[in-house]
Structure 1
Amino acid sequence: MPDQPPKPENPFSQVPVEITVSVGRARPRISDLLQLEKNAVLRLDKRVIDPVELYVGDKLIARGELIEQSGPDEGQLAVRLTEIADLGESLRP
């Protein structure tokens, strides 16, 4: 079988995208929002141990768990991916 030439790089592969990490949602009434003060607690629909969701735009791309970096990036939040969504052909070259 002859060597095949390498596939040309997809021109979009170097375009940066913004990923949004969703840790939970809240649905307060506007009247409740207007009463919020410093140190108020806004309860979310998820627990600390629940997975977070990663989105590009409104497309779910993965789930994971929040972790705290160590070493030179100590204290920085990060996400350890635990599940990759089936993207089909929508985001892949």
Structure 2
Amino acid sequence: MDDNTAPTVPATPDLTARGARLLQQIPIEVTVSVGRARPLVQDLLNLSESAILRLDRRIDDPVEIYVGDKLIARGELQEMEGADAGQLAVRLTEVVGDARDLG
């Protein structure tokens, strides 16, 4: 063993469980996609305040929820009530495939 190399400690179930609990406490960014647009470059360059950019979705279509580029769920947009009135939120309607494996 090199003098500059720290000895390795084998993972034990206790250390593994502790590490998993610590990882679960880390905040993660989630992206909610309401749709996509494909304007021409010329149209994009001419955008101004009050312009409307048409999306490929309808107002009542489900939104998609991503972690990175991985789709994890779908849901519907909602407005919070009470102390959080006016805050935009998403009510999950479907958890997609492997997203359950994230927990």
Q: CA, structure 1 residues 88+64, in 2 after alignment: closer, same or farther (shift >3 Å)?
A: closer
Shift of 1:12: 1.2
Counterpart in 1 of 2:84? 73
Q: Amino acid of the residue matched to residue 35 of structure 1?
A: N
Give the alignment's Cα RMSD to 1 decimal.
Answer: 1.8
Question: Would you say the 8 A contact 2:73–2:99 is kept in 1?
Answer: no
Partner of 2:31: 20
Identity, in percent, stands at 59
Deviations 1:33-62 (A, max 9, x none): 111111110000000100000000000000
| Higher helix content, 1 or 2 | 2
- Which ranges of structure 1 fall in alignment gaps of 5 or more residues? 1-6
Matched with 2:17 is: 8
> Could you list the runs of 5+ residues in structure 2 that have no partner in the other structure?
1-15
Compared CA separation, residues 71 and 80, structure 1 to 2 (3 A)? same
Structure showing greater Rg: 2
TM-score scaled by length of structure 1: 0.85
Deviating beyond 2 angstroms after TM superposition, the runs of 4 or more aligned structure 1 residues are 88-92
Give me the TM-score of the superposition, normalised by structure 2: 0.77
